[in-house]
Structure 1
């Protein structure tokens, strides 16, 4: 009886592949329209001289609500070899945290009158981030 229980297999659940294909095939035109619309809105806003903070806020809001950022990351990940690496690097929370900390320190330093030092600091931070990304990519290929 124990042997029979071990060898008994459960039948695989049938999947509705037609529904999955329809769902995945129907989302890309909609996402492409969202991307084109958002790019057009940003281009028109920059051309007309709208406030860049408002444009950035609208872009982030549209990207988060529509899932456009995830779709674009998925599109980048499709590129062979380098695509998945770019997506991994973009999703590192360490890089996001380091960049946010840099903006906070820059804001405080500019308020106190250290604008020249901020330029040096931001240059060093960008060099560090680019070095981390290049090191990660090289390490993945070795």
Structure 2
């Protein structure tokens, strides 16, 4: 399950996949499904004001995608990426910007997932059919 959530833990978009799928494979699909409602008239916005993610999304394609769409983002740098950048010295480039205060609010996504998981059908991998239920005799 790969959601994007608003400040009050309300999902903005949601994609349900198998448990073995990597986080970053669903990144673009989740962001493209976001529709931010407008106050008043007008169609919903498809680009959020900002985006906060964990280290699973700290790779070149993900960072380049949000940069190209003009979305402010806070994604911490992976430890091995930081070490590789520092090893390269001046050729390694600048470190990506990171705002710790904004990153602390990332737990809204985790809370949104927990709220969705309270509905058992979302978390189970299958629904039991009549044949799978024990006899009541």
- Shorter chain as normaliser: what TM range? under 0.3
TM-score (norm 2): 0.25
Larger Rg: 1
TM-score (norm 1): 0.25
Higher normalized strand content (fraction of residues): 2
